[in-house]
């Protein structure tokens, strides 16, 4: 086979492998983006806050079972082959996503609505546990050993594509339907659309051949008879599983979630930047950063996986607090709570009883530099003795001017750059740590524990730390959530530097 044919073949492999991971992120974004709407459909509305939290808990359940999916499908992948296993994960994952859009509402079937959604989320989590390991292994085992970092790094770019596809589908659906129709049934459309991607990916994957390295091992009778036992019951191999988790994927997980999700949450919840503007500036930062997955993946073929990943972790550890301090200063300068005392308007006073009363309204303030601030204002009126009113103005959302917007885009872009440095080489790094016969099983578990558990916990833990610090009156309360990724990243960096070799045992497999 000539070089052009080899290149064409590897692109087909990458395309087939990447569609599944694209659907993973597509599902992630649509469920998260539509959480507020979903909570009104599948949970009782007697307590809207509890319903929303229940929706988030259901969403999080998919993370919890990912390691179990890694074990189940990893074992199958090492027994029957890479191709057929991630064909199964694709169909299971896509089918569950489609069916979420078909579940009747709580008003129709009561308790069975949230139960069915939870079951489908668990099935998605199981499927996702087997999807990434299969895709990474399949691509890596089709790639030349000296370009494995470059080719596998293309898989990492699918998160951005999944984001844009989800945003486009949601936006197109909202545009095509009235607000009432979207709230009534149109929110289901983004879930139904996933079936199209599933069918396309299935057709592509069905015509692909098995991984040449696995096919060779199977032909020679060198596949594992008990992948779980050989992966985790063998002390020598278990050492590398633990090193992969605590020296690489644990830190990679928190860097990934900080740069691509906590940054978004921080701008929306802490800095109260308008949600639509936040989505757009994070999207722009992702577009700018995405090519660097391939840059650093390719660079790892030349200088090794370890120094690149460790450099990314170290940069994140050192730079997070200065970056987030600057983000807060840029975004929050016009959104601080204002307290003003003024005379009560007679019209307002007439609407209130002749005692301490409360009147709430929304105001919009436009600044000379183009920024727009929306206030939720609560007026407490005291009719006697001085007919005074105290207005507590709490910022609801900030619409930034172009200068501040681009400052934040660059600050988020820097964080995305840290993600690409750590995440770009990770697939090749994990594949090369383990032998072919137990590779799928051995690499999947540390990846999904590192990302699904350590990374997946980051938004919850960071938000909790920020909330407690704010309640306690800490001066830099908005930075306290960063201790979680900094500490986890520092532990991982230390273990990785001390115990991981730059040359992995199976780099030439």
Does residue 338 surpass a pLDDT of 50? no
| Helix (H), strand (E) at residue 146 | none
Q: Which of 2-16, 60-74, 212-226, 365-379 has the lowest mean pLDDT?
A: 365-379
165, 368, 369, 406 from 330: Cα distances, Å: 30, 16, 13, 10
Which of 223, 255, 281 delimits the end of a domain? Answer: 223
Confidence (pLDDT) at 378: 53
Tell me, what's the pLDDT at 337?
44
Residues 275 and 361 in one domain: no
According to the model, what pLDDT value does residue 110 have? 85
Percent share of the chain, pLDDT over 70: 82
- Chain segment 182-192, per-residue pLDDT in tens: 888 998 999 99
Of 223, 255, 282, which closes a domain? 223
**Cα 385 to Cα 56: distance, rounded to the nearest angstrom:** 48
Looking at the structure of the chain, the number of domains it has is 3
pLDDT above 70 for 279 = yes
CATH of the domain at 417: 1.20.1250.20
pLDDT at 371: 59
pLDDT digits (tens, 9 = 90+) for 250-262: 999 999 989 988 8
Rounded Cα–Cα distance for residues 215 and 221 (Å)? 10
In which element (H, E) is residue 396 found?
Answer: strand 388-399
Range of the domain at 359: 338-399
Residue 70 sits in the same domain as residue 194: yes
At residue 254, the pLDDT reads 95
Mean pLDDT of the 50-61 span: 70
- Residues 166, 274, single domain; the answer is no
Q: Which of 189, 223, 257 is the last residue of a domain?
A: 223
Helix residue spans in 65-144 (DSSP H) = 66-80, 82-100, 106-109, 112-140
CA-angle at 294, arms to 293 and 296, nearest 5°: 70
Note the pTM of the prediction, 2 decimals. 0.82
Query: Does 176 lie in the same domain as 59?
Result: yes
- Residue pLDDT, tens place only, 359-399: 454 555 565 556 565 655 554 544 444 544 444 455 556 67
pLDDT above 60 for 356: no
CB-CB contact of 432 with 507 (8 Å)? yes
pLDDT in tens, 483-492: 999 999 999 9
Confidence at residue 500, expressed as pLDDT on a 0 to 100 scale: 92
3-class DSSP state of 185: coil
Length in residues, the chain: 509
Lowest mean pLDDT among 21-25, 106-110, 197-201: 21-25
What pLDDT shows up at residue 244? 94
Average pLDDT, the chain: 81
Beta bridge partners of 338: 393
Do 317 and 453 reside in the same domain of the chain? yes
Residue-level pLDDT at 8: 61
Regarding predicted confidence, which is higher, 395 or 91?
Answer: 91
Q: Render pLDDT for 210-250 as a digit per residue (tens, 0 to 9).
A: 777 878 878 878 787 888 888 888 888 899 999 999 999 99
pLDDT at 296: 97
Q: Are residues 390 and 446 in the same domain?
A: no
Query: In the predicted model, is pLDDT for residue 164 greater than 80?
Result: no
- Please give the order of strands across the beta sheet that includes 338-343: 338-343, 388-399, 372-382, 357-366
Say which DSSP state 47 is in.
S
The per-residue pLDDT for 374 is 61
**Terminal CA-CA length for the chain:** 20
Same structural domain for residues 117 and 185? Answer: yes
Q: What is the pLDDT of residue 363?
A: 54
Tens digits of per-residue pLDDT, 128-154?
888 788 888 888 888 888 899 999 999
Concatenated DSSP letters of 333-392: TT-S-EEEEEEPPHHHHHTS-SSSEEEEEEEEEE-TTS-EEEEEEEEEEE-SSS-EEEEE
């Amino acid at each position: 086979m000539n070089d052009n044919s080899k290149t064409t073949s590897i692109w087909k492999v990458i395309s087939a492998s990447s569609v599944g991971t694209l659907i993973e992120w597509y599902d992630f974004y649509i469920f998260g983006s539509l959480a507020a709407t979903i909570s009104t459909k599948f949970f009782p509305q007697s307590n809207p806050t509890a319903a929303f939290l229940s929706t988030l808990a259901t969403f999080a359940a998919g993370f919890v079972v990912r390691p179990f999916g890694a074990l189940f499908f990893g074992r199958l992948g090492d027994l029957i082959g890479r191709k057929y296993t991630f064909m199964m994960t694709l169909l299971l994952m896509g089918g569950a996503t489609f069916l979420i859009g078909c579940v009747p509402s709580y008003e129709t079937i009561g308790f069975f609505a949230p139960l069915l959604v939870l079951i489908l989320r668990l099935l998605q989590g199981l499927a996702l546990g087997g999807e990434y390991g299969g895709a990474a292994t399949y691509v890596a085992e089709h790639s030349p050993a000296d370009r494995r970092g470059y080719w596998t790094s293309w898989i990492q770019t699918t998160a951005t594509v999944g984001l844009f596809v989800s945003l486009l589908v949601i936006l197109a659906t909202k545009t095509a339907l009235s607000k009432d129709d979207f709230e009534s049934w149109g929110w289901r459309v983004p879930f139904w659309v996933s079936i199209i991607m599933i069918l396309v990916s299935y057709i592509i994957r069905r015509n692909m051949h098995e991984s040449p390295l696995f096919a060779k091992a199977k032909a020679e009778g060198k596949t594992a008879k008990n992948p779980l036992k050989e992966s985790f019951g063998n002390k020598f191999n278990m050492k590398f599983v633990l090193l992969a988790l605590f020296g690489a994927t644990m830190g990679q997980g928190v860097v990934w979630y900080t740069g691509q999700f906590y940054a978004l949450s921080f701008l929306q919840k802490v800095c109260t930047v308008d949600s639509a503007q936040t989505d757009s500036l994070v999207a722009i930062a992702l577009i700018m950063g995405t090519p660097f997955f391939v840059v650093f993946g390719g660079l790892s073929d030349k200088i090794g996986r370890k120094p690149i990943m460790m450099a990314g972790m170290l940069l994140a550890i050192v730079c997070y607090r200065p970056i987030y301090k600057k983000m807060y200063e840029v975004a929050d300068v016009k959104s601080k709570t204002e307290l003003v005392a003024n005379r009560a308007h007679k019209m307002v006073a007439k609407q209130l009883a002749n005692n301490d009363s409360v009147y709430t309204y929304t105001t919009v303030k436009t600044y000379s530099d183009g920024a727009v601030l929306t206030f939720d204002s609560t007026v407490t009126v005291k009719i006697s003795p001085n007919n005074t009113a105290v207005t507590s103005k709490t910022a609801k959302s900030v619409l930034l001017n172009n200068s501040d917007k681009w400052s934040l885009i660059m600050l988020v872009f820097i964080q995305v750059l840290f993600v690409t440095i750590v995440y770009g080489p990770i697939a090749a790094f994990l594949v090369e740590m383990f032998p072919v016969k137990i590779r799928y099983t051995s690499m999947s578990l540390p990846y999904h524990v590192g990302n699904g558990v350590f990374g997946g916990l980051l938004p919850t833990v960071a938000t909790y730390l920020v909330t407690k610090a704010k309640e306690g009156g800490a001066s830099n309360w908005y930075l306290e959530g960063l201790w979680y990724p900094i500490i986890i990243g520092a532990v991982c960096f230390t273990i990785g530097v001390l115990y991981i070799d730059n040359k992995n045992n199976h780099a030439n497999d």
